[in-house]
Amino acid sequence: MKRLITGFLLSITVTVFSQANFQGKAVYQSKTTVDTNFGGRQLSEERKKQILERMKNMLEKTYVLSFTKEESLYKEEEKLETPGSRGGFRFGGFAGGGTMYKNVKDARLLESTEFFGKKFLITENAEKPKWELGSETKQIGNYTCFKATLVKKTNALDWRNMRRRNRDSEEKKDSSKVKKVSEELELPKEIVVTAWYTPQIPVSNGPGKYWGLPGLILEVNEGRTTILCSEITMNPSEKVAIDEPTKGKEITREEYNKVVKEKMEEMRERFRSRRGGNDRGGRGFH
């Protein structure tokens, strides 16, 4: 009887994914943890609570992945600001947002995003991640998921993996494993990414840039950030047009990172000038 049920479910899966107009929808919850020590500053518990509440919009996000067998759109779901939040903390392009298009067949990636009021269309080759498949499994909702890992080089602009430098043990550290971001912050050069994927949904896709596994990725653990699928809908009644984004100045990922780095350095200088009583303002985009 068990074999009959398994065979029946397998036949349903094959039928669903063989449909020419098949589409799926997956909702992901992303959460990033931060150092609640706040650099050792003496803050009251109430003040810490206020800061974390203001940071919530940046640290907790919801994304929707609309996918077919070969293409996908990954988009942040907009949230209404809560009263008294005053917009929370905003870090321009760092906080995500925009729309990411992936074509896993052609290994192409396009990201439409906005940074300091200017729209960009970032183009890059979607290089297939070098996953190491494991045999460990766990259940996520109704799906059996398998573990996969990879070692990923960090992006110097990714604030989520930055950490406060520990000067007391600095001489004991292996400096070859970290990048110095500032006098206060450092960034590990590499991190281990863990993904959990389900062959029950035979689509080589997942949240953000992650793909290349024999099944939909339902969970990703990347440094201090966890992305977890909370809802899956097969062939939703409301179809989403999975088209390549076209809005924004076309730019490569390397060029975009250079723009962001220059703007951040400019803002850092403005902040230093303000502290020194000599704020001359910053330059805009040209």
One digit per residue, the tens of pLDDT, for the chain of length 286 reads 434 433 434 444 544 565 667 899 999 999 988 766 655 566 677 776 776 777 677 788 999 999 999 999 999 987 655 544 444 444 433 444 689 999 999 999 999 998 888 899 999 988 899 999 999 999 999 999 999 999 988 776 666 665 666 644 444 455 666 655 555 566 677 889 999 999 999 999 999 999 999 999 999 999 889 999 999 999 998 888 999 999 899 999 999 988 988 888 888 787 777 766 554 444 555 5
User: Does residue 13 belong to any structural domain of this protein?
Assistant: no
What was the pLDDT predicted at 285?
Answer: 57
pTM: 0.77
What was the pLDDT predicted at 1?
Answer: 43
What was the pLDDT predicted at 168?
Answer: 46
H-run or E-run covering 253: helix 253-275
Nearest partner of 30 among 240, 222, 257, judged by Cα: 222
What was the pLDDT predicted at 211?
Answer: 96
What was the pLDDT predicted at 230?
Answer: 96
User: Does residue 75 belong to any structural domain of this protein?
Assistant: yes
Parent domain of 251: 25-272
Q: Are 132 and 148 in contact (CB under 8 A)?
A: yes
Q: Are 134 and 197 in contact (CB under 8 A)?
A: no
User: Does residue 278 belong to any structural domain of this protein?
Assistant: no
Q: Cα(67)–Cα(70) distance, rounded to whole angstroms?
A: 8
User: Does residue 185 belong to any structural domain of this protein?
Assistant: yes
Q: Cα(46)–Cα(161) distance, rounded to whole angstroms?
A: 26
What was the pLDDT predicted at 228?
Answer: 97
User: Does residue 6 belong to any structural domain of this protein?
Assistant: no
User: Does residue 225 belong to any structural domain of this protein?
Assistant: yes
What was the pLDDT predicted at 277?
Answer: 56
User: Does residue 151 belong to any structural domain of this protein?
Assistant: yes
How many distinct structural domains can be found in the chain?
A: 1
What was the pLDDT predicted at 39?
Answer: 55
What was the pLDDT predicted at 267?
Answer: 80
What was the pLDDT predicted at 283?
Answer: 52
Reported for 176-179, long-range contacts at CB under 8 A and 24+ positions apart, including other chains, are 179/154
What was the pLDDT predicted at 261?
Answer: 84
Tokens 């974390």 sit on residue: 52
CB atoms near residue 23 (< 10 Å): 19
What was the pLDDT predicted at 77?
Answer: 87
User: Does residue 285 belong to any structural domain of this protein?
Assistant: no
